[in-house]
Structure 1
Amino acid sequence: MAVITGGVARARARDVPSVLVTFDPHPAEVVRPGSHPAQLTTLSRKAELVEGLGIDVFCVLPFTPELSKVPADEFVHEFLVDRLHVAAVVVGQNFTFGHRALGNVELLTQLGQRFGFAAEGAKLVTVPNHGAADEITFSSTYIRACVNAGDVRAAAAALGRPHRLEGIVVRGDRRGHELGFPTANLSTPRYAAVPADGVYAGRFSLLNAANRPPLMAAISVGTNPTFSGRERRVEAFVLDVDEDFYGQRVAVDFADRLRDMERFDSSDALVERMHDDVRRTRELLS
C-alpha cells in the first residue's frame, strides 16, 4: 500500500497515468516448480484493491521461463521504457528483478538516470515487536506466516484489512444441516492461503451481489475430526440467514480466531460448542 500510494502520488504530480505492474503466475512457481507460495489475493481481488488505492492501469505480465532469463537492464529497457514510457518507478527498498534477481534499487536508479526516469525505493513498513529487541517488517512472507498460524488478527493488522478467501459454494455431506447449522462449503483456489485449522469469526459476502452487505459468519477450517473427516474444508455458517448459496461465488473475511479444531465425544457436545461459537461471533462482530 505504501509503494502503490507513493506511485499514485507521483503520477498525479506529473499528470500521467499510474500503472501497477505485477506477474502471474508467481515467479517462484516458474523458476522452482512446486514452490508456489500461498496466495493472499486472487488477481481479480488484487485489481479491486489497487483500483481502490487510485491505480489507473493494472498490468499483469505473464511470467514465463523466457521472461525469467531476461537480464535486469534489458527488462527495464524493453518493458518499462519502450512499452510503458515510465516517468517514475516506485518499488520497495528490498526490490530485486531480472535474471537471477541481480537487479536492485541501486541498478534501477542508475538505469533511470540513463533512460530519463526517476526511481525510488520506498522504506519497508515496520512495527515494534513487543517483548523483543527487533522489529516486525510487514511483508507477504510475514502475513502468510500469520495466516498459516491462524493469527488472522495479526494478518489483518499488516494487510490493513481482514484476510479474505474466495471460492464457489459446493455441495458437502450436509452434516451441518442435520445438526441445525447448515454451512456454505467453499471450493477455494489451488494456492489459496487457508488459515490454520480452527473456528473463526468473520464475514460472508456474495461476490455477484455487490449491493448486499456482508453477513456475519462462524467459519470452520479443518477436517471435522468429530466425524473422522479426512478432507480439509472451509465451511461458513452464515448467521441470521436461511438461504441456499450453492453455486455462488462468495468471499469470507476472517476477523478473529475463536478456538482450535476439536474432536467431540458426541454430536450433542459439538452442537453445544457450535452454539457458543455463534454467540461469540455475534459478540465480536456486532
Structure 2
Amino acid sequence: MQHWTGIDAVPAGFGPAVVTIGNFDGVHRGHSAVLQQLVDESRRRSARSVAITFDPHPRRVHAPDSAMELITGLTDRVELIAESGLDALLTIHYTLEFSRATAEEFVRSIIVEKLGACAVVVGHDVRFGSGNHGDFETMVELGRRYGFEVVGIDDAGHDRRWSSTWIREALNTGDVTTASEVLGRPHRMRGEVVHGAARGRELGFPTANLSPEATGIIPADGVYAGWLVDAAGTRWPSAISVGSNPTFEGVSRQVEAHVIDRPDESIEDFDLYGQQVVVEFVERLRPMVAYNGVESLIDQMNDDVAKARTVLSADAATA
C-alpha cells in the first residue's frame, strides 16, 4: 500500500480511483466493512482503492483541552488499514486552516482533482467539510455534479452499531473482551520499553514497562492476559498489569507486561529495553487491589500467571 503523508505527495494524473474518507480510529469492524467495500468496488471498476484519513484527529485541533483519547496511534492505524488490501492511503495533516474548506471545496480539490474519483464509498453517517456541514446527501449531490457515484454502506453490529465510542466505553471499564469483539482483534498499545523501579524483577516477575508516551487507550486498572509483540515480531504470552500497584506507595500509573515462560529469566539475555513493542489485551483477570504484604502479592501474581497461561493457550488455539 502506498502511504502519502500530504496532498502534494499524490502523483499527478492519479486515478481512476474509488475513495473513502474517515478518521478510522481503532480500525474496527465498521471501518473494515467500509474498507472491504472500497476494495471490492475498485476491483469491479478496474480502479484503484484509496482511503483518506487525518492526523491529528480533528477533535484534537478544535478542542485540544477536551480531546478524547485515541484507540490507536497513527502507526497502528496505517498498519491496520494496509491489511485491508487498499492500494493507497492519503493522510492529511489536519489544521484549522484546512478545516475551513467547504464540503464542495474538499470534494472538488482532493477527491476529484487529486484522486480522480469515479466512486466514493462512505457510511450514511459521514460528515465532512467546514463545520461538518457535508453529509451523505451532500456527497450524493456532489457526485452528480462532478461525475462520481456514491456507494453507501451500513456498518451495524449485532445489537448496536460498531463504533469507536463503544470500544472506549468497554476499555474504560476493563472489558477488553467486548472491545476485541468490536475491533475484530485484541486491543493494542504500542510504545518503547523503558526502565521502571525494577520491583517486578525483585519479586521474581520482571516486566517490560511501556513508556508514558505509548499510543493506544490504556484500559481500566487491573491485570490482563495478553501478548507482547517484540520488535522482531515474536509474540510472547504475558500477564499485563495496568495501574499504580496499590500495594506500594508512590507508584504512578503504568502498563507493564510480564512475559510468561520467557526463554531465560536473566534480563541480560532477554533485553527489551529501548524496543518498540506492541501489547495486546485478551482478557481481564482481576481488578487492581492492595495486598497485605509482599508474600500475599507474590502468591497472587503466581495465580495471575497461571490463569493468563490458560487463557492464552485457548486464544492461540483459536487464532
Find the aligned partners of 2:123 and 2:100 in 1 and give their Cα distance.
22
**Structure 1 residue 97: deviation in Å?**
0.6
Please give the per-residue CA displacement for 1:49-104, whole angstroms capped at 9, x wherever unaligned: 12211111111000000111111111111111111111111111111011111100
Assess if the C-alpha contact under 8 Å between 1:166 and 1:188 holds in 2.
Answer: no
Instruction: Provide the secondary structure at the position in 2 that maps to 1:127.
Output: coil
Tell me which amino acid in the other structure corresponds to 1:170.
Answer: V
What does residue 8 of structure 2 align with? none
Give the C-alpha shift of residue 142 in structure 1: 1.1
SS at the partner of 1:126?
Answer: coil
Determine what percentage of the aligned residue pairs are the same residue: 44
Say if 2:225 and 2:239, in contact at 8 Å, map to a contact too.
yes
Structure 1 residue 17, shift from structure 2 partner: 1.3
1:147 matched to which residue of 2? 171
Query: Which residue of structure 2 aligns with residue 35 of structure 1?
Result: 66
Of 277, 287, 296, the residue aligned with 1:260 is 287
Aligned length: 276
Cα deviation, residue 15, structure 1? 1.3
How many Å apart are 1:188 and its aligned residue? 4.6
CA displacement at 1:190 relative to structure 2: 6.1
Q: Tell me, yes or no, if structure 1 residue 19 matches structure 2 residue 50.
A: yes
Deviations 1:195-222 (A, max 9, x none): 000000001101x213x3x110000000
Alignment-mate amino acid for residue 269 of structure 1: S
Q: How does 1:198-277 map to 2 (within 5 A)?
A: 198-206=222-230, 208-210=231-233, 212=234, 214-241=235-262, 242=265, 243-277=270-304
Give matches, 1:165-180, under 5 Å: 165-180=189-204
SS at match of 1:276: helix
Stretches of 4+ moved more than 2 A in 1? 188-192
The corresponding residue for 2:4 is: none
Segments of 5+ residues of structure 2 without an aligned counterpart are 1-31, 314-319
Contact in 2 for aligned 1:165/1:188 (Cα 8 Å): no
Partner SS state of residue 103, structure 1: coil
Indicate the RMSD between aligned Cα atoms, in angstroms. 1.2
Q: What is the CA distance between 1:189 and its match in structure 2?
A: 3.4
Structure 2 Cα separation of the partners of residues 191 and 47 of structure 1? 13
Task: Read off the aligned partner of 2:172 and give its amino acid letter.
Answer: N
With over 3 angstroms needed to count, the CA separation of the structure-2 counterparts of 1:174 and 1:230, relative to structure 1, is closer
SS at match of 2:54: strand
The one-letter code matched in structure 1 to 2:187 is H
SS of alignment partner, residue 281 of structure 2: strand
Paired with 2:181 and 2:124, the residues of 1 have a C-alpha distance of 21
User: 1:232-267 CA deviation, whole Å, 9 max, x = no partner?
Assistant: 100000011132211111011100000000101100
Hey, what's the Cα distance between the residues in 1 that align with 2:213 and 2:91? 19
Kept in 2, the 8 Å contact 1:24–1:63? The answer is yes
Deviation at 1:137, TM superposition (A): 1.6
Q: Which amino acid aligns with 1:53?
A: S
Report the counterpart of residue 208 of structure 2 in structure 1.
184
How far has the Cα of 1:174 moved from its partner? 0.3
Q: Give the conservation status (yes or no) of the 8 Å contact 2:194–2:209.
A: yes
User: Could you state the TM-score of these two structures normalised by the residue count of structure 1?
Assistant: 0.94
Q: Distance in 1 between matches of 2:214 and 2:65?
A: 12
Matched, 1:138 2:162: yes
Counterpart of 1:282 in 2: which secondary structure?
helix
- Hey, what's the Cα distance between the residues in 1 that align with 2:287 and 2:271? 27
